[in-house]
Amino acid sequence: MPGEGDEPVQPRRWPILTAEDRDAVQRVLERGVLSGAAAPEMRALEAEFAAFVGAGFCLATNSGTAALGIALRAAGVGPGDEVIVPALSFVATAQAVLHLGAVPVFADIDPATYTLDPEDAAARVTSRTRAIVPVHLHGLPADMDALRALARPRALAVIEDAAQAHGARYRGRAVGTLGAMAAFSLNSTKNLPAGEGGLFVTDSEELWARAARARFDGLEPPAKWDPERPLDDEAEGLASTPGWMYLPGELTSALARAQLRRLPATTARSQDNAARLTARLGRLAGVEAPATPPDRTHVFHKYRVRLHPDRLGLRVRARDLRDRLLAALRAEGVEAVLWQTVPLPAHPLFARPEPYSQAAAALDGSLIIGSQSCPLFAQPSEVVEAWGDGFEKAWSSVVRP
C-alpha cells in the first residue's frame, strides 16, 4: 500500500486496447470492405457471439438501442401498445419503445437488486401490454423466472435488456437466453466495448428473420457474399416491412470480435475487483455493497454502493450524505460518479408525476465506485485496494458526529 507522500495510484482507463485490437482493425483495412448486409466481420461476430451466449441466432447492429428496437419490432410491438420497462435504467430502454410509437409503462425496482420488481410489473399489466423489457442493471440478471411466469399466461414477449450484462448468468443460464430475445450494447463504456454497436440474440428463427428485416430497411438480408463484388447484391431488394438502417460497420465488428476473446478475462477481473472491494466496504456500518443473489452471477458493469444513514442513527437525508461522500471520495482520489440521478419517468420527456419510490430512494442514497472512463472492472488490484482505503477514510469523515 502506498504510504504518506507516495504518488497516488493512477486508475486505468477503459477501454483497454491491445495489439490484438489493432490487428483486427488492420485486417479490415487490408480487406477494404467497410460494411455490407452480409459483410464477413459482421457475420463472424454474429456466429461467435451466438456461440458465446448459447443462442441460436445473433444480429449485430450499430447500437444497443437499435438491437432493442429490432427486438421490439420482431415482437410485433406497434403504435398504442404498452411495454413494461423498469423505472431505473438508461433512457434507451424507454426510447426504443417510443421509436415504435408504443408507450413505455414504468414499473418500480427491487431495492436489493436494482432490477425490475415482478410484483410491481404485474400490477402495471393492462389489456394493451405487449411486452416486458427487464434490464440486467449494472450486470446483475433480473428475476427472470418470476417475470417469465408473469408474461407466459398473458402471451407477453420478454425481451432482455442485457446492454450491461455480457456474460452474466441466472440459474445456470446465460443472459440472452432467458427471454424470447435479448439486446446487448457494444458502446465504449461496456464490458464488451467496440465504440458504438449492439448485438441482438434469439433462439427463434422466425424472430431472427423479422429482426433481420427490421435492421436492413425492411429488406431481405442477402444470402450470399461475393468477396470480388462486396458491395453488390443480386437480390431483388423489395421491402416487405418497415425497417431502419441499423447495420454495423466492419471496423466495429472486427474490434468487437477481438474484445469478445478477452471478455472472460474482463469478467473474471471485474468479479475479483468487486469481491475485493466488497470485503472492505461490507465491514462498514451504514454501507451496503452490491448484493448478488445466490442463483445469479454479477459481472459488475457498475458497482453501486447504497448508504443507510438511519442504521447509524444519523439524522441526515440520504441524498445529502451521498453528495458529501461523493466530494470526500474525490478528495481521496477515489473515482466515483452518480449514474442516473432520477428515475426514467421523471425525465422531462415523460414527466410522470408518480413517485416510483424504490427507484428514487435507491438513486438518492447511492453512488457508483469507478467512473465510465475508469470503471472498477478495468482496475488492477492495487487501485482497488487504494480505492478501498480512500472509501474508508471518506466514509469516516462524513459520518463522524
Ligand X SMILES: Cc1ncc(COP(=O)(O)O)c(C=O)c1O
- Would you name the residues annotated as active-site residues? 190
Q: Which is nearer to ligand X, 163 or 219 (CB)?
A: 163
Total binding residues for ligand X by CB under 6 A?
A: 14
Distance, in Å, from the CA atom of 205 to the CA atom of 203, rounded to the nearest integer, reads 7
**Residue 63 near ligand X by CB under 6 A:** yes
**Residue 371 near ligand X by CB under 6 A:** no
Measured at the alpha carbon of residue 360, what is the angle toward residues 352 and 143, in degrees to the nearest 5? Answer: 100
Q: Which is nearer to ligand X, 287 or 363 (CB)?
A: 363
> What are the distances in angstroms from CA 308 to CA 237, 277, 296, 319?
59, 18, 25, 10
Q: How far is CA 116 from the centre of its chain?
A: 14
**Residue 65 near ligand X by CB under 6 A:** yes
Length of the chain: 401
Shortest distance (Å) from residue 135 CB to ligand X: 5
Listed residue (348, 364, 150) closest to 356, CA to CA: 364
Contacts 24+ apart (CB under 8 A), 287-291: 287/395, 290/138, 290/140, 291/112, 291/113
Q: Residues 161, 233, 364, 385: which binds ligand X (CB under 6 A)?
A: 161
Q: Which residues contact 45 (CB under 8 A, 6 or more apart)?
A: 58, 60, 199, 253, 254, 256, 257, 260
Q: Which residues pair with 174 in a beta bridge?
A: 169
Q: Residues 57, 74, 93, 219: which binds ligand X (CB under 6 A)?
A: 93
**Residue 163 near ligand X by CB under 6 A:** yes
Residue nearest to ligand X (CB): 64
Query: Rule CB under 6 A: which of 195-214 touch ligand X?
Result: 198
Shortest distance (Å) from residue 138 CB to ligand X: 9
- In the numeric block, the cell 424472430 is attached to 207
**Residue 176 near ligand X by CB under 6 A:** no
Q: Which residues contact 121 (CB under 8 A, 6 or more apart)?
A: 84, 107, 132, 147, 150
Q: Which is nearer to ligand X, 64 or 309 (CB)?
A: 64
Binding track, positions 20-59, relative to ligand X; x by CB under 6 A: ----------------------------------------
Q: Residues 15, 64, 243, 388: which binds ligand X (CB under 6 A)?
A: 64
Residues that bind ligand X (CB under 6 A): 63-65, 89-90, 92-93, 135, 161, 163-164, 185, 187, 198
